[in-house]
Structure 1
Amino acid sequence: MSVHPTEEELESLSLACQKLWDLDENRLEPGVDYAINVQGGKNPFGNQDAAADKLFLGVKDDVWQRQTYVIFYNLLDNYERQTGIRETLTPQERQETIAFVNAIMETKPMQYCHNLLVKKGRAPADEGEFKDLLMKLWFYFYRRETDFDSSGFEHVFVGEVKNGKVTGLHNWIQFYIEERKGNIDYRGFIRPRRRGQGVENPDGNERILTVQMEWGDELKPISTIFIGTSPEFEMALYTLCFLAGGEENLIDIEQYDVMIKCYRMGRDRDQIGTAFPEVVGVDQ
C-alpha cells in the first residue's frame, strides 16, 4: 500500500486518517495478540466500580520484541508524574527519544504522515528537518505549572497528575503496563448517551474504548484510548491532526465516529499540549 496520499486524501482529513489505520502493519489483533475484559458499563459521574477485574487479560510476549514497541516502552519511565516538577533528560534518555523518532520514521504510518504534510505545505520535505519538528512538537519541555515541567509526549502517552487529578494518559500500552504493576484500577467503560453511538455491548474486540480509571490515588472519570494500535500509528494520527487539522477533527476510523482533539501549548503555542480521541456519542 502506497505511503503517498491521493488527491482525495489530501482533501479529506478523515480519509487520510483511515489510510493511516490501513497502513498500521504493527497493529495488534484482538484475541490473537491481546485480550481484554471490558466488564460493566457506567456513566462518568457514578461512584460505583463496574469492573472487579483488570481490563487487560494479557498481551503476547513477542509483542515486546517489536522495535517500536520496545523503544516506546523505554520512554515511559523518563518523566515525573506530578506537574510543577521540572523535567530533565539524561543523555541516555535523550538517546532513547532520538531512537524512537528514528524508528517510527521507518514505518509506513509516519512516512505517509510526512508525505501528506509536505504536500499540504505543513512540514519540511527534508526528513532530518521533519524529525527535528517531531522532537519540538512532542518532546521539548514547556510550562504547565512551572518552567520545563511537561511535554506533549509525556501528557498524551504517559500521563500526569495536576492538582490531584489525572490528566492525559491516552495510550493503551501505558495503561496496560501500569495496570500490570497494580498502579491503575480499571473501573469500567463509559456507556454512550444514546443507542447506536459508541460501544453499547462490548465483546472484547473493541479498537477504541472510553474508560474510567484510578491511577494511584487519583481518579480520571473518563478517558478514551485506542486499543492495540502501534506507537507509530498514534504518533502519526495526532501529528497529522495537529498540523493539518484544527482543535476538533471529526473522522471515521473503521466503524467508529471519532473526534480527535488537539490543543496547543508552549511559549509560541506551536507545541502539542494534548491530543486525544473522543468517541462521538459518549459523554466526555
Structure 2
Amino acid sequence: NEKKTHLNYTGCKGILKLGETGDIINMDFLWLMNKKKTSSMFIGTSPELEMAVYTICFLARPNKECPVSMAGKHFTIITQPITDAMLLQNHPIKATDLLGTAYPKINTLLADKCSGSP
C-alpha cells in the first residue's frame, strides 16, 4: 500500500466523469519502485458495478477490447486471463477461463484534465 511505499502515485493524466456513477482516472504510479506505464481505474463506482462489467467483458470478449458506454461516455474494458503456470498447476479449470486482470481504458484526448494538472 502507499503508506508502506509499495505504491507511489505520481500523477493524473486525465479523468472521464461518469456522472453519478463515478469516474475513471488515468494515472501514472510506481509499484514496488517500478514505474507502471499509464493505467486506469474506476473511482467512486460500486464494487458490484465493476464486477459485473469486468465479468461480462471477460466472458464476451476475452483478450480483446470490450466497448462500454456509461452516462453517455465511451471507454473500453481490457481483460486478460491468468497466465502464471505456477498458479494453475493444481487447478482443474483451464487458464483461459480464469480472469487475471481487468481494468478500464480511456482516451485521454477525450478526457477532462485532472484537478491541479497543468
Q: TM-score, normalised by structure 2?
A: 0.63
Which of the residues 16, 30, 42 maps onto 1:214?
A: 30
Aligned match of 2:48: 232
Aligned match of 1:276: 103
Counterpart contact for 1:256–1:279, Cα < 8 Å: no
Q: How does 1:185-264 map to 2 (within 5 A)?
A: 185-191=8-14, 199=15, 207-246=23-62, 247-264=64-81
> Which one has a larger percent strand, Structure 1 or Structure 2?
2
How far off its partner does 1:271 sit? 1.3
User: Could you say which structure has the larger radius of gyration?
Assistant: 1
Q: Which runs of 4+ in 1 moved over 4 A?
A: none
Whole-angstrom CA distance in 2 between matches of 1:253 and 1:181: 35
Instruction: Encode CA deviations 1:165-207: one digit per residue, 9 max, x unaligned.
Output: xxxxxxxxxxxxx22444322111125xxxxxxx49xxxxx71
How far off its partner does 1:261 sit? 1.3
Aligned match of 2:6: 183
Q: Quote the sequence identity (%).
A: 33
Q: Secondary structure at the match of 1:233?
A: helix
How far off its partner does 1:229 sit? 1.9
- Residues 268 and 221 from structure 1, CA distance in 2 versus in 1: closer, same or farther, beyond 3 angstroms? closer
Q: Secondary structure at the match of 1:269?
A: helix
Whole-angstrom CA distance in 1 between matches of 2:8 and 2:29: 6
Aligned match of 2:112: none
Q: List gaps (5 residues or longer) in structure 1.
A: 1-177, 192-198, 201-205
AA of the residue aligned to 1:276:
Y
AA of the residue aligned to 2:9:
Y
Counterpart contact for 2:58–2:79, Cα < 8 Å: yes
Q: Secondary structure at the match of 2:45?
A: coil
Counterpart contact for 1:262–1:272, Cα < 8 Å: yes
Counterpart contact for 2:67–2:74, Cα < 8 Å: yes
Q: TM-score, normalised by structure 1?
A: 0.29
Counterpart contact for 2:9–2:28, Cα < 8 Å: yes
Counterpart contact for 2:29–2:36, Cα < 8 Å: yes
Whole-angstrom CA distance in 2 between matches of 1:210 and 1:245: 22
Counterpart contact for 1:210–1:279, Cα < 8 Å: yes
How far off its partner does 1:259 sit? 0.6
Q: List gaps (5 residues or longer) in structure 2.
A: 17-21, 84-93, 110-118
Counterpart contact for 2:13–2:108, Cα < 8 Å: no
Whole-angstrom CA distance in 2 between matches of 1:187 and 1:268: 33
Whole-angstrom CA distance in 1 between matches of 2:82 and 2:6: 28
AA of the residue aligned to 1:238:
Y
Whole-angstrom CA distance in 2 between matches of 1:265 and 1:214: 22
Count of residue correspondences = 93
Counterpart contact for 1:186–1:213, Cα < 8 Å: yes
How far off its partner does 1:273 sit? 2.6
